[in-house]
Structure 1
Amino acid sequence: MQNSIFNELKVRGSVGTSGNNEIDLNQYQALLAYDTNYAGNPTIYPSTYGNLDLQWEKNRMIDLGVDFGILNNRISGSIGVYNKRTFDLLQDVPLSRTTGFNSLSANVGEIVNKGIEADLTFAAFQTKNFNWTISANYALNHNEVTKLAKDASGTDINIATGTKITKVGEAVGTWNMRKWAGVNPDNGLPLWFVNGVDGAVTSVYNEAKVAIQGKSLPTYSGGVSTHLDYKGLFFDASVYFAGGNKVFEDWAGYTQSTGQRTIVFYNGVNTLLDRWQNPGDITDVPKMDLTSTGNNSASSSTRFLYDGDYIRIKDLVIGYSFDKELVQRMSLDGLTLSLRGSNLFTFVKDSRLKYDPEVRADGFTRLTTPPVKSVTFAVNFKF
């Protein structure tokens, strides 16, 4: 009987439901408050409308996958697909003002996350003196809001917060802002697209339409690593990448305004040196205007929204493990020398992005310390 090329072949699957109880206490109750007065006399007033049908948010996860190993496990890995549905999502639903309340909390929303996750390890060479292994992983995720609360007319109640919006058919926290159209070369005034997409432009900020401009959540991520060793000498490297999203420079209003905020009250960045100065200048930085707003040139728009795709070389290590016989003569169990470089190189798709692209889940760059670049020499003694 011929042996199978598979050393391992396992099909796995799971289905489960869990709840999220991260809601404020007593939200289901109609409550009274005592923290005000009327003409100096203590008063009691209704403070919470209440909802006796209020429940936890729920997650239903379906996960299917295959784990495998072939050719004496020289090639091994796994491939999986998943579908996570978050339903009974908590949302504040507007109420008629005749109730005396603005809104109540209700289980009305639904979000779907689905995607693919895969990892693969390949032992390219396995000999007494030389070994080489390559590993890789990749994840692809699609996030979509499928249901939200509706108002009295049956229209979805979108959740808009500043530069973001959550609406049916889009990902959670999709960027929602005016679209930057550059600088007028004749007068140096900032320009935005009137319809939020393309075509006609305007220099009046409030005449430009707010529109969806991209996802704040990465849609893919992954990494590649490798290990080589030859007669005690070894080398390791790991690379990480992510993208499919956009990141917003949250502090641009303080550092890149061409008005008083940056010039008078804060420190501007060197990009301002490339500002418009004379008719015919081609630049992406408007002219200086020392009014309070600087023509809104640094107000929220895609001027400071960048592609978030990047590749980072996380670690590079080269080292040497001394021969066992030599180490024993030194009354040691092991001796290793290594040189490690961490976060040495980061490559971004958008050359305009000056901050670290590996941002938090909200998609905003912050004035925080980026991953530290370091070079470390180490000596490891084993006794």
Structure 2
Amino acid sequence: GFRQNQIVEGNTELINFTTTNDLISYTSNQTTEGYFSRVNYDYDSRYYISGSYRRDGSSRFSKDARWGDFFSVGGAWRLDQEAFMEKADWANLLKLRASYGEVGNDNLGGYYVSQSLFALDYNNASEGGILVDSPGNPRLQWETNIQTDAAIEFGLFNNRVAGTFEYYNRKSEDLLFDVPLPVSSGLDDYPDNIGSWVNSGFEFDVTVGIVRNSQFKWDFSINASTLKNEIKELSQEEIINGSKKLVVGGDIYDYWLREWYGVDPADGMALYIASPEAIEAGGSDLREIDGTTVTTNQNNANYNFVGKATPDVYGAFRNNFEYKGFQLGITFTYQLGGETYDSNYSGLMHSGTYGTALSTDILDRWQEPGDITNVPRLDAAQTAAFGAGSSRWLEKSDFLALRQVNLGYAFDAELVQKLGLTGANVYVSGENLFKLTARKGMDVGESFNGTTSNRFTPARVLSVGLNITL
């Protein structure tokens, strides 16, 4: 807080001011306590077994739900160490492994999610006033994340080919979630354990020594991952949260949006697929185009699952070259499939009467009857209808990015020794050099749920340096 209205000029003591403004204070405390144990067993460097147990307590939950018990178990088998593999000189490493583990999660933002919180600054003159600020949930309990993995690790042909292929299944039970509340409640949301969902997929990582001799070395590495989500259980029939709708059997990354139809060539109005309720009620906003009933009123648009944020596959690949003291590394990242909801682009297309920059795509807008375009006319009175959240703002998330390039040179050892050094090398590197996307400037992969925020894309960085070891 602070005080104002000075009595004696030059005296900065608080007592010399007559009015106290915005004086606030708060105290937040969280306590966690945990107990851990772990056992590892190795037999003849062939068979491995491990197990662990932990008991965690968190002050975020009520006293009746404060403690959670979690365990894990895993095993591995080195096939390459078995007698029947003695003559298989092509296999340097061949290992099977599997694991099952549980871990708890108590993070739902606040430290007091099991308790209702009240705001004390709603006074009426001298009469004190208190309002509910956030509802607590004394039944709240630990979220449990259960992960099952199975993998094969391999190193073949003197490790010229090495890598891992893995399947994972991650189930989250008693999910902690801020459930949205109706506006009429006067509150935004309340904390609850809403159900369970499963994330599963494959991960692949391999390195191949394409060329390896005394003069030249070339290694190529690539990794790839997939992800599938399925909601298994919910505490209510559905939960709508922003551009997503959670239902049993669905995917938390599927978009639930108005269905965009296009632009009417006759008058440049934005068109949406009309909802069954709107069609039954009728109205002047409804139009029939090529056998499809559409509406110019975004409030009468039909909502549907119109895309997904998760990619089909994503990962990176890298080339490493070495030649007579030179080293060159080039790393790309990529993503195939999925869609991004580009809210930044939406704001650049329909800003209403505010003076602001617009996307150059506005030049493709409808201007006269007969124009075929996907950009409605300029009309400040239709900002809400034209810019409403819909499948119009979904853009393909495929991308290829040159993430990093490193070029270095290690000086000859004999020269380095003559200079009284043990090592010296010079390098130049670049990061975030380019990114190819469906829409220029769109930062695909900014968040896994497919949304964008008002921030700059990663900066391009160029570096030059000299490393000397004495």
| TM-score interval, normalised by the smaller of the two chains | 0.7 to 0.9
Normalised TM-score (structure 2): 0.69
Residue type of the alignment partner of 1:356: D
Q: Secondary structure at the match of 1:72?
A: coil
Structure 1 residue 159 corresponds to structure 2 residue 239: yes
Whole-Å separation in 2 of the counterparts to 1:304 and 1:31: 38
Contact 1:60 1:84 survives alignment (8 Å): yes
Tell me what 1:204 maps to.
Answer: 297
What is the CA deviation profile of residues 332-364 of structure 1, one whole-angstrom value per residue up to 9, with x for unaligned ones?
Answer: 33332333232222122x2x4532213123422
Higher relative contact order (CA 8 A, sep 6+): 1
Q: Aligned match of 1:168 in 231, 240, 248?
A: 248
Q: Aligned match of 1:267 in 357, 366, 382?
A: 357
Give runs of aligned pairs for residues 17-28 of structure 1, distance below 5 A. 17-23=102-108, 24=110, 27-28=113-114
Contact 1:247 1:363 survives alignment (8 Å): yes
Residue type of the alignment partner of 2:419: M
Q: Secondary structure at the match of 2:417?
A: helix
Residue type of the alignment partner of 1:204: N
What displacement does 1:39 show?
12
Structure 1 residue 60 corresponds to structure 2 residue 146: yes
Higher alpha-carbon deviation: 308-317 or 358-367: 358-367
Tell me what 1:98 maps to.
Answer: none
Is the alpha carbon distance of 1:171 and 1:186 closer, same or farther for their aligned partners in structure 2, counting shifts above 3 Å?
A: same
Tell me what 2:338 maps to.
Answer: 245
Is the alpha carbon distance of 1:283 and 1:43 closer, same or farther for their aligned partners in structure 2, counting shifts above 3 Å?
A: closer
Q: Aligned match of 1:308 in 391, 397, 410?
A: 397
Whole-Å separation in 1 of the counterparts to 2:240 and 2:252: 11
Residue type of the alignment partner of 1:189: M
Tell me what 1:382 maps to.
Answer: 469
Whole-Å separation in 1 of the counterparts to 2:139 and 2:383: 50
Whole-Å separation in 1 of the counterparts to 2:264 and 2:310: 33
Contact 1:289 1:295 survives alignment (8 Å): no
Q: Aligned match of 1:296 in 365, 385, 391?
A: 385
Whole-Å separation in 1 of the counterparts to 2:423 and 2:220: 26
What is the CA deviation profile of residues 241-296 of structure 1, one whole-angstrom value per residue up to 9, with x for unaligned ones?
Answer: 12432211223453211632xxx3332222222221122222222111132x4361
Is the alpha carbon distance of 1:188 and 1:128 closer, same or farther for their aligned partners in structure 2, counting shifts above 3 Å?
A: same
Is the alpha carbon distance of 1:167 and 1:129 closer, same or farther for their aligned partners in structure 2, counting shifts above 3 Å?
A: same
Whole-Å separation in 1 of the counterparts to 2:318 and 2:405: 10
Contact 1:189 1:295 survives alignment (8 Å): no
Is the alpha carbon distance of 1:138 and 1:92 closer, same or farther for their aligned partners in structure 2, counting shifts above 3 Å?
A: closer
Whole-Å separation in 2 of the counterparts to 1:255 and 1:65: 47
Whole-Å separation in 1 of the counterparts to 2:129 and 2:423: 77
Whole-Å separation in 2 of the counterparts to 1:248 and 1:31: 34
Normalised TM-score (structure 1): 0.83
Q: Calculate the aligned-residue CA RMSD, in Å.
A: 3.3
Q: Aligned match of 2:157 in 71, 96, 99?
A: 71
Q: Secondary structure at the match of 2:195?
A: strand
Residue type of the alignment partner of 1:302: S
Q: Secondary structure at the match of 1:200?
A: strand
Tell me what 2:375 maps to.
Answer: 285
Whole-Å separation in 2 of the counterparts to 1:375 and 1:92: 42
Contact 1:228 1:234 survives alignment (8 Å): yes
What is the CA deviation profile of residues 188-237 of structure 1, one whole-angstrom value per residue up to 9, with x for unaligned ones?
Answer: 111222259x9433322222211112223445321111111111222211
Q: Secondary structure at the match of 1:265?
A: coil
Identity %: 32
Residue type of the alignment partner of 2:461: S
What is the CA deviation profile of residues 287-323 of structure 1, one whole-angstrom value per residue up to 9, with x for unaligned ones?
Answer: 11132x4361111112221111211111123332222
Which entry has the higher C-alpha Rg, 1 or 2?
2
Contact 1:222 1:241 survives alignment (8 Å): yes
Structure 1 residue 235 corresponds to structure 2 residue 325: no
